[in-house]
Homo-oligomer: A and B are copies of this chain.
């Protein structure tokens, strides 16, 4: 059936993420938040005052692609963006009150979504999966997010 693909972790990673993404999108319907913006929101909440570049680097998002992402979150009133007093090139990002509420709602939906996707796995297996994935992630080439997008 699957032939040469059957034993490939990369292939199954792709298919598993595809299943996750479809259910995630359904779970978030009506919130106006998708995967990437939600991740940005969560990172800003966990790191108040962080700037766009640093947030992007943590998530593997290029500087150029952060702009529209942050604009959107600011327009939605979920993130505050003020010039950083210690480096006037940068913006200091924080989650607004509405952002905190949106994140709380999203996380409740996501918890249900994760339980749905993982309901065949025991708690020990879920922890093991997180551990295994974490050890793969750390093999990312340094300089994921950006680094030096210019010539």
Contacts of A15 in B (CB 8 A): 60, 133, 137, 140
**Which residue of B58, B121, B134, B140 contacts A22 across the interface (Cβ within 8 Å)?**
B140
Contact A1 B133 (CB under 8 A): no
Contact B117 A10 (CB under 8 A): yes
CB distance from A68 to the nearest CB of B (A): 19
How many A residues have CB within 8 A of the partner chain? 59
Q: Which residue of B lies closest to A35 (CB)?
A: B14
Contacts of A60 in B (CB 8 A): 15, 18
Whole-angstrom distance between the alpha carbons of A20 and B141 in the complex?
10
CB distance from A110 to the nearest CB of B (A): 7
Q: Other than A10-B17, A10-B110, give 20 A-B pairs with Cβ distance below 8 A.
A: A1-B46, A2-B42, A3-B45, A9-B118, A9-B129, A10-B21, A12-B133, A13-B13, A15-B60, A15-B133, A15-B140, A18-B60, A19-B137, A19-B140, A117-B139, A120-B136, A121-B132, A121-B135, A129-B129, A129-B132
Q: Which residues of chain A have a CB within 8 Å of any CB of chain B?
A: 1-5, 7-24, 35, 39, 42-43, 45-47, 58, 60, 103, 107, 110, 113-114, 116-121, 125-126, 128-130, 132-141, 144
